[in-house]
Structure 1
Amino acid sequence: TGLPIITVENACASGTTAYHEARAAVESGRYGCVLALGVEHMSTRFDGPIAPEPTDAEQAGGLLLPALYALSASRYAAVHGTTPSDLAQVAVKNSGHGARNPRAQRRRALTEAEVLGSRPIAEPLTLFQCAGLTDAAAAAVLGPRRRRTRDIPIRASVLRSGRAWDQDSERVWGFDVIRETASEAYAQAGITPEEVDLAEVHDAFTIGELVTVEALGLAPEGRAAESVRDGEFTLGGRRPVNPSGGLLSRGHPLGATGLAQVAEAVWQLREEAGPRQVEGARTALVETMGGGASGLDANGCVVTVLGG
């Protein structure tokens, strides 16, 4: 066709990075219409954790992502007093959302006992607290906004990278890069965290959601688990988080994950989400992380704000 095709690689944030670049291409006037596409086939390509990079000393020593997130969960618990039950409640919430999503990989609501009783992966994380292997594709078409259409405006899209093994930070992995990216996105969109009606965030592991919503300003630091238990982040609550079921239940097809998050946000804002519809949703936030295991603080982070 002669059309340019650009490959975007940013690990788990590849989809939203492609979305970010597509938006920039349209806004600059370089292209009139851009398709951002994410595809991943994992079921026959992986038989366990993603293999470490040969040059990654931490991964070669066994510090794969489940272990790193587990260490983060233990550190978070030591600082904030969270329990295994608190972590499990994230999976319980998101499985309930996923049960309402016909596109979800795991479409069954789980109990806390089932989550805690599932196979141990890396203490304190169990099987149902970890995203599975997923085959999926997702896409978004971006172009100039037209009046009287179903187009959803992009109010902000910010991509940042952090610093590997940030010794200056006393917080658990990734907090600072997420906070900095979100702060820029809120400023670009002209909103505060209180104006977000729903969020799709990177919950590859249960601890990931707790850390992320705090870094995004959607819960006070150390209080995210309380917000989950109080139902604030559940459908019908004040600000639903991962109404799609999140990576834990909808699935985590790596390159397609970010665009699947964007699709959920668009369906919600168009009031097309069916039984998982967030009533009165006007502003949605999407957050995705992507990178290796050598310091999640060095990951790329994309925060997008849609609606308005």
Structure 2
Amino acid sequence: MSEAYLIGAGQSPYGSFPDESYRSLFRTAFEAAIESVPNGLESSDIDEAFVGTLGVGGRQLGLSGPAVTEHVGLGGVPCTRVENACAASGYATRQAVQAVKSGMSDVVLASGFEIMSDMSSDATKYWLGVSGETEWERLSGTTFSGVYAQMASVHMEQYGTTREQLSRVAVKNHSNGAKNPHAQLNFECSLEDAQSAPVVADPLNLYHCCPTSDGAACALIVSEDVVDEYTDDPIRVAGVGAGSDDIGLFQRDTYTGIPASQRAAESAYEMAGIGPDDLDFAELHDCFTIAELLAYEDLGFCERGEAGQLIESGATELGGDLPVNTSGGLKSKGHPIGATGAGQVVEVFKQLSGNAGERQVENPIRGLTHNVGGSGGAAVVHVFEREERRSSRNSSGPRPREKESEVSA
């Protein structure tokens, strides 16, 4: 079975772009991905494409994958649309890895897009709601902010998590997003701002919720047979894990965790041969600030019930032991549903290539992406690992991890 490598990734800006279409945003992301490949890549090299999208607003519901890939010159390349709600392009990335590992393809495009800003707020709520349990959640009036508010309420009651801790997630991610030129909400916010914003669904307020976004993202996955042609500094897809669960929150055994995330993380760690302590940074699915806290626990960054203390400790801040959402996360960078998972891979590529600018983590070796569909009906986790230069790695394999915590607190 072939190893899979990440050799390039790019995205459009995230935000509201009334003068852009889903095709034009996809082209921006695709061209950025092609240009990011260190030794160059031609679009004619691509053997297959996977495109994640929910299809918000009803535009091109059928064949939306070929609609964007032919626009960027990939006409004739096999293209599959992947829909798994907010985890669509995370799963598209998984499919790309599988295509490479199976030996069927050598160069695969993993991508996603969404346009969300050209509808009324009521229409947007509808399209967001279709990823919830239809009969007993969406049609009874429950919104996603309401579902995550239930999760937050139970976590607060059971573990003593506070509104201030929820707000600290927003402050951290806005601080990171302010350093990201592609972020939609690229401004800092104070803890006071994040605590005093208008309530959306108690206990969640406006600063506890991500925005709706337009955007696209692309990543290029290749086999070990061809990776040397494209880069001298390979990034290996070391681990992949996925999980599914009941779509409705009320159908599950817990409100204080997402079992699909737990299963996905366990599988990814096992494949990579590592544990959460071996990571240098992570991009987590923070559609609401409580979602990031739940992910800390689901992915083993801390014990169950200790996520509030972890955010307060500063460990997940840029410069901490395990920086989380250096891109700004969904909260600040934005959440164009179909593009979100691939957009996380873009940040991993930048970090592991040393091209993340002001938000660069010091000498990262391993990074993780975590992408959730709906309120936890699906989840996918990837572990990426920077290898030694090809010229010197034949006998030694991957470098041992150099933890920031061993250098500075």
Give the TM-score, by structure 1 length: 0.93
**Partner deviation per Cα, 1:33-75 (whole Å, 9 max, x = no partner):** 1111211111103524531449422222221100010111010
Give, in whole Å, the separation in 2 of the partners of 1:191 and 1:46: 45
Q: Are 1:84 and 2:167 counterparts?
A: no
Give 1:34's aligned residue. 108
Deviation at residue 30 of structure 1 after TM alignment? 1.1
Deviation of the 1:173 alpha carbon: 4.4
**Among 111, 125, 146, the residue aligned to 1:50:** 125
Corresponding position: 1:302 with 2:380: yes
Which of residues 133, 147, 151 in structure 2 aligns to 1:68? 147
Q: 1:89 to 1:217 in 2, by over 3 A?
A: same
Which residue does 1:248 correspond to in 2?
331
Alignment of 1:268-307 (within 5 A): 268-291=351-374, 296-297=375-376, 299-307=377-385
Map of 1:5 onto structure 2: 79
CA RMSD of aligned residues (A): 1.7
The whole-number CA distance in structure 1 between the counterparts of 2:349 and 2:77 is 26
Structure 1 gaps, min length 5: none
Specify the SS of the correspondent of 1:56.
Answer: helix
* Structure 1 residue 213, shift from structure 2 partner: 1.1
Q: For 1:89 and 1:199, how far apart are their aligned partners in 2?
A: 17
Match of 2:186 among 92, 104, 107: 107
The 5-angstrom pairing of residues 1-308 of structure 1 reads 1-48=75-122, 49-51=124-126, 52-53=129-130, 55-145=134-224, 146-147=227-228, 149-164=232-247, 165=249, 169-174=253-258, 176-291=259-374, 296-297=375-376, 299-308=377-386
- Give the letter for the 1:32 counterpart: D
Range 203-212 or range 218-227, more displaced: 218-227
Give per-residue Cα distances to partners, 1:176-207, cap 9 Å, x unaligned.
Answer: 22112111110000001100110100000000
Partner amino acid, structure 1, of 2:158: V
Residue type of the alignment partner of 2:215: A
Aligned residues: 302
Alpha-carbon contact 2:241-2:263 (below 8 Å) kept:
no
CA separation of 1:256/1:168 partners in 2, compared to 1, >3 Å: closer, same or farther? closer
Structure 2 contact 280–322 (Cα < 8 Å) conserved: yes
Find the aligned partners of 1:168 and 1:90 in 2 and give their Cα distance: 26
Deviation at 1:245, TM superposition (A): 0.5
Secondary structure (helix, strand or coil) at the match of 2:81 reads coil
Q: Which has the higher contact order (CA 8 A, sep 6+)?
A: 1
Q: 1:93 to 1:195 in 2, by over 3 A?
A: same
Moved more, 72-81 or 165-174: 165-174
- The alpha-carbon distance between structure 1 residues 141 and 233, as it changes in their structure 2 partners (threshold 3 A), is same
Tell me the distance in 1 between the aligned counterparts of 2:332 and 2:158.
28
| Aligned counterparts of 1:168 and 1:62: Cα–Cα separation in 2 | 19
CA distance in 2, matches of 1:141, 1:46: 34
Q: Distance in 2 between matches of 1:84 and 1:168?
A: 24
Deviation track 1:270-304 (CA, whole Å, cap 9, x = no partner) reads: 1110100010210001000013xxxx34x111000
* Contact 2:150–2:255 (CA under 8 A) maintained in structure 1: no
Please, which runs of 5 or more residues in structure 2 have no aligned partner?
A: 1-74, 387-409
Q: Whose radius of gyration is greater, 1 or 2?
A: 2
Mark the CA change 1:46 to 1:133 in structure 2 (over 3 Å): closer, same or farther: farther
AA of the residue aligned to 1:284: G
Query: Is the deviation greater in 165-174 or in 136-145?
Result: 165-174
Question: 3-state DSSP class of the match of 1:220?
Answer: coil
Aligned equivalents of 1:140, 1:227: Cα separation in 2: 31
Task: Please tell me the residue identity of whatever aligns with 1:153.
Answer: R
